[in-house]
């Protein structure tokens, strides 16, 4: 009888090892995931959600080690060194990082049990508990929460961290957290090793995707700016390249005093400012050297003319009143004359 029983056990183990070997041979990516604290109901739900993408097989570590030794794949036998604790064998045709992401999507928050180690500082916020006065007051007070009665219900008076990360959750705290529907424990498969010919540890698989996306966005922005600066034309850069060229050409025309009708006002404005500055210097040396009318005009205009350089203003404005590209080459529509009574024109300055 004993011999028959041993034979049955042996056949069972051989069958399980063959099943594991079949998985290790036919799936390009395999992984090990911790399954501690996961109940059968949750495991069934995870299997259902991952069906068609990722397979899950609960195995005994000793049988998995035997299978790893018997499968002919590069480095696969080295996975024995990474096995730890209660483990599920996961397998997929996706890459290891997609495997990690899919598993992470199927983790969920659960109530804390007595004796569980708090994974984070657990905060209970102030406010209405919704409970009528009764034994709940004693429970709340026992875990360090200050309470009061308001409107026929129990209120928590102030926020409180009831347990810190790494501390053990007491039986009473577990009850209180459950009453308040606070679920601080994250449960699900915990992928700690993956293999696709190379072996990846948990640290290898923890990728900061948000950081990567931000870096890519920064690289795109820098690349776009570089292309604009060097004049490398693409559908995305052609407009800012033309705008930059126009701005630089405009500044050159204005600063060089090249007479083009669309820029005559800016050129005269610069000349006007320079003439005013010269006149001010003359007045400093000899107040009677210039006509009184001109001196009065200078005093008035000094408070009205902007301290910014006209050329600087021209290079930054992008409103609809700016002359078009055609203005640089003399083929735009003439602008209407602008009367600016506050400005001193050259004619007034020199009579």
Query: 């799936």: which residue's tokens?
Result: 27
Distance CA 349, CA 291 (A): 9
Residue 116 in any domain: the answer is no
Do residues 191 and 88 make contact, with C-beta atoms less than 8 angstroms apart?
no
Q: pLDDT exceeding 70 applies to what percent of the chain?
A: 82
Residue 297 in any domain: the answer is yes
Per residue in 322-331, pLDDT tens?
444 444 444 4
Asked whether residue 263 falls in the same domain as residue 323, the answer is yes
Asked whether residue 77 falls in the same domain as residue 139, the answer is no
Query: 């001109």: which residue's tokens?
Result: 294
Residue 334 confidence class, pLDDT cut points 50, 70, 90: very low
pLDDT at 348: 39
Asked whether residue 276 falls in the same domain as residue 229, the answer is yes
Residue 68 pLDDT greater than 80, yes or no: yes
- DSSP letter string over 132-147? PSSHHHHHHHHTT--E
Q: What b-and-e string marks burial along 26-47, b requiring 16 or more CB atoms within 10 Å of the CB?
A: ebebbbbbbbeebeeebbeebe
Containing domain of residue 63, as a range?
2-107+188-207
Residue 115 in any domain: the answer is no
Per residue in 246-298, pLDDT tens?
899 888 888 888 888 888 888 888 888 888 888 888 888 887 787 877 777 76
89-103, 107-121, 156-170: least confidently modelled range: 107-121
CB atoms within 10 A of CB 167: 13
- DSSP letter string over 245-284? HHHHHHHHHHHHT---GGGHHHHHHHHHHHHHHHHHHHHH
Q: pLDDT averaged over the chain? A: 82
Per residue in 155-168, pLDDT tens?
999 999 999 999 99
Residue 153 pLDDT greater than 80, yes or no: yes
Residue 114 in any domain: the answer is no
Distance CA 198, CA 200 (A): 7
Asked whether residue 169 falls in the same domain as residue 74, the answer is no
Residue 113 in any domain: the answer is no
pLDDT at 304: 58
Asked whether residue 272 falls in the same domain as residue 331, the answer is yes
Residue 78 in any domain: the answer is yes
Asked whether residue 54 falls in the same domain as residue 198, the answer is yes
Distance CA 119, CA 168 (A): 10
Asked whether residue 335 falls in the same domain as residue 221, the answer is yes
Residue 8 confidence class, pLDDT cut points 50, 70, 90: low
Distance CA 193, CA 206 (A): 11
Q: Which two tokens stand for residue 320?
A: 């609809």
- Is the full-model pTM beyond 0.85? no
Domain count, the chain: 3
């Amino acid at each position: 009888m004993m011999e028959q029983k041993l034979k049955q056990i042996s056949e069972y183990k051989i069958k399980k090892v063959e099943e594991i070997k079949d998985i290790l041979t036919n799936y390009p990516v395999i992984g090990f995931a911790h399954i501690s604290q996961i109940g059968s109901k949750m495991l069934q739900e995870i299997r259902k959600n991952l069906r068609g993408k990722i397979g899950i097989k609960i195995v005994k570590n000793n049988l998995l080690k035997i299978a790893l030794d018997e499968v002919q794949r590069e480095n696969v036998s080295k996975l024995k060194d990474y096995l730890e604790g209660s483990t599920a064998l996961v397998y997929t045709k996706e890459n290891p990082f997609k495997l990690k992401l899919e598993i992470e999507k199927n983790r969920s928050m659960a109530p804390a049990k007595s004796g569980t180690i708090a994974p984070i500082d657990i905060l209970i916020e102030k406010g209405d508990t919704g409970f009528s006065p009764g034994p709940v007051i004693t429970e709340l007070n026992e875990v360090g929460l200050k309470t009061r009665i308001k409107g026929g219900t129990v209120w928590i008076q102030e926020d409180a961290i009831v347990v810190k990360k790494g501390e053990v959750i007491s039986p009473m705290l577990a009850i209180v957290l459950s009453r308040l529907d606070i679920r601080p424990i994250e449960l699900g498969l915990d992928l700690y090793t993956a293999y696709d010919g190379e072996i990846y540890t948990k640290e290898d698989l923890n990728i900061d995707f948000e950081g990567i996306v931000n870096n890519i966005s920064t690289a795109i922005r820098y690349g776009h700016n570089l292309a604009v600066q060097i004049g490398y034309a693409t559908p995305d850069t052609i407009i800012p390249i033309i705008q930059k060229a126009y701005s630089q050409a405009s500044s050159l025309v204005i600063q060089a005093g090249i007479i083009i009708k669309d820029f005559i006002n800016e050129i005269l404005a610069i000349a006007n400012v320079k003439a005013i500055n010269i006149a001010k210097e003359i007045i400093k040396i000899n107040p009677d050297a210039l006509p009184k009318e001109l001196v009065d005009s200078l005093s008035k205009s000094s408070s009205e003319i902007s301290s910014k350089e006209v050329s600087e203003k021209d290079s930054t404005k992008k409103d609809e009143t700016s002359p078009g590209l055609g203005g640089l080459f003399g083929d735009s529509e003439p602008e209407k004359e602008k009367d600016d009574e506050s400005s001193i024109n050259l004619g007034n300055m020199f009579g």
